[in-house]
Chains A and B, each alone.
Chain A
Amino acid sequence: MAIRVKLDHVLLDRRLTLTDLAERIGITIANLSVLKTNKARAIRFSTLDALCRELQCQPSDLLEWAPEETGKGSASG
């Protein structure tokens, strides 16, 4: 999928672990791990809201669009 989750970068910046974040926002580590490893197919607004609130960031800090490398176009962003 062309949407990538940058949760690991944000966690690194905030010096937080996935376990800490899971406890603070009340989402299981398994679910956060799915998000972090880019296996998620969808993210609820409520989850995004909790993440942004706890990490003090914008959705754009957590998500990025990166074109898949199968095409001949160059990657951007």
Chain B
Amino acid sequence: MNVTRPRSPVSFLIILLNVVRVAVAIVLVVAAAIIVLALFADIRGLELIVVPPSFGVSPESHNNWTLTIPVSVAFDGGRIAAPSIGIERADLQDLRGSLRFPLQRGLVFITNGLLLILAMGVGLWLTTQLQRVLRTVRDGKPFAPSNATRVRRIAWVLIAGEFVRAAIVYLENSYAATHFTAEGLRFTARPDLSLAAVIEGLIILVIAEVFRAGTRLDEDQSLTV
């Protein structure tokens, strides 16, 4: 039973995931090498461009490393109003952004570097699992017994990953709130758990159960004479 057509999007996705995997692997290796190197040598002249979703190390034009962390801020500045439409007072809420500052070597640098490597490692693992699932789909064996396990693992990693990400964002927020000040702005620490991401993970868990049921049916079918 071959369920994919020759020009199926599955083949394209497999190629795309290959490219992503190689890119992530290269970034992982380069990031790890530079972070280890930075502990022992002055590498300010070296440029590294790594922009993960919530933290990272990026080059400055004047060859000075910067660290970017997620921040949550409250606006304490001037009054916000829209007189032309008769609104005298409005509030800015849920302000989130990134704070970039010159990198100081130490615990923060090492922690962020390790988190970056961890995120890349998890990304590499996820893409590998997804690619293996897609390969079985391409080969006409979507209900291979290992697929249900793979999909279930992907789901749990996504759910756990979201909690870990939220915790990291909270800690980074707290770091900014503790050490940084700004006129008109107040750095705060707020939880940033994405319920959508957790629900996505739960939906993938349901899909894993569908795979498990499909595997059972497929086995029954293959052993029906």
Contact = CB atoms under 8 A, between A and B. Distances in A.
Contacts of B223: 34, 39-42
Contacts of B225: 27, 31-32, 34-35, 40, 42-44, 47
Interface in B183-225: 219-220, 223-225
A10 B223 CA distance: 21
Interface of chain B, main secondary structure: mixed
A59 to B, nearest CB: 14
A41 B224 CA distance: 6
B218 to A, nearest CB: 11
Contacts of A27: 225
A43 B220 CA distance: 11
A1 to B, nearest CB: 11
Given A32-B225, A39-B223, 16 more contacts: A31-B225, A34-B223, A34-B225, A40-B223, A40-B224, A40-B225, A41-B219, A41-B224, A42-B220, A42-B223, A42-B224, A42-B225, A43-B224, A43-B225, A44-B224, A47-B225
9 contacts: A32-B225, A34-B223, A35-B225, A40-B223, A41-B220, A41-B223, A41-B224, A42-B223, A44-B224
